[in-house]
Amino acid sequence: MSDEEKAVKSASILRELGNLPELAEAESVMAFASLADEVNLQALWQRLLDQGKTVLFPLLAGSNGRMDAGVVSDVIRDLKPGRYGIPQPHGAVIVDPGRINIVFIPALAYDGVGNRVGRGGGYYDRFLSGRAPGAFRCGVSFECQVLRSVPVKDHDCHVHALVTEKGIRRFSGRKTT
């Protein structure tokens, strides 16, 4: 996609996220810093901060594959390139993942039943299954990233909902394609 097409589709996804009741009700939101091929949600993250919500970003800590959730107060100032060049909070307060209401999750691809393919590190799978099992999991991607099926392993975490420029899909339980 061109940069212009990504911007238009990202704006549509932002509008769709405005219809997500779990986001409206959330007090604590785990965001993500978009890479060049991902949906740009920076405006949403700042809007949530302006509404007084706690906004956290993933912080890849140590060499053991651990991911923490660090509080930010400004999505531009507080994020610096970290491991793999992914912007993450530096010097942030780490929050107990059990307090997070909703986690937004990027991926390379999703399928039609809530499975995802990440970038291969397993950070989100470990984080969601072991440390934030009660959080509502919301995938965010462009519609062109939704495939008929994706490879699934037993330890992979599915999402409860997926938001694209075409709308919101909801899923229940773990399914295979």
Quote the pLDDT of residue 172.
81
- Per residue in 129-160, pLDDT (tens digit) is 877 778 999 999 999 999 999 988 887 888 99
Cα–Cα distance measured from residue 139 to residue 106, given in angstroms and rounded to the nearest whole number: 6
Q: Supply 119's token pair.
A: 């970038």
Mean pLDDT of 30-34: 92
Quote the pLDDT of residue 10.
96
Quote the pLDDT of residue 52.
96
Cα–Cα distance measured from residue 54 to residue 72, given in angstroms and rounded to the nearest whole number: 8
Quote the pLDDT of residue 176.
52
Q: Is the pLDDT of residue 113 over 70?
A: yes
Quote the pLDDT of residue 177.
47
Give the chain's mean pLDDT: 90
Higher pLDDT among residues 66 and 10, named by residue: 10
CB 85 within 8 A of CB 128: no
- Per residue in 39-75, pLDDT (tens digit) is 999 999 999 999 999 999 999 876 677 889 999 999 8
Mean pLDDT of 22-44: 93
Task: Locate all alpha helices (DSSP H) within 88-132, ordered by sequence.
Answer: 123-126
The closest of 24, 35, 37 to 58, measured between CA atoms, is 35
Q: What is the DSSP letter of 120?
A: S
Cα–Cα distance measured from residue 85 to residue 82, given in angstroms and rounded to the nearest whole number: 5
Question: Is residue 101 left, alpha or beta, with left meaning phi > 0 and alpha meaning psi from -120 to 50?
Answer: alpha
Q: Which residue has the tokens 């909070």?
A: 89
Name the CATH code of domain 3-170 (choices 3.40.50.1100, 3.40.190.10, 3.40.50.20, 3.40.50.10420): 3.40.50.10420
CA dihedral 161, 6, 74, 44 (to 10 degrees): -40
The alpha carbons of the chain give a radius of gyration, in whole angstroms, of: 15
Give residue 32's pLDDT band: very low, low, confident or very high (50, 70, 90): very high
Cα–Cα distance measured from residue 45 to residue 32, given in angstroms and rounded to the nearest whole number: 9
Cα–Cα distance measured from residue 114 to residue 177, given in angstroms and rounded to the nearest whole number: 10
Domain ranges of the chain: 3-170
Mean pLDDT of 81-96: 87
- Per residue in 73-88, pLDDT (tens digit) is 998 899 998 887 889 9
Q: Is the pLDDT of residue 34 over 80?
A: yes
CB 121 within 8 A of CB 127: no
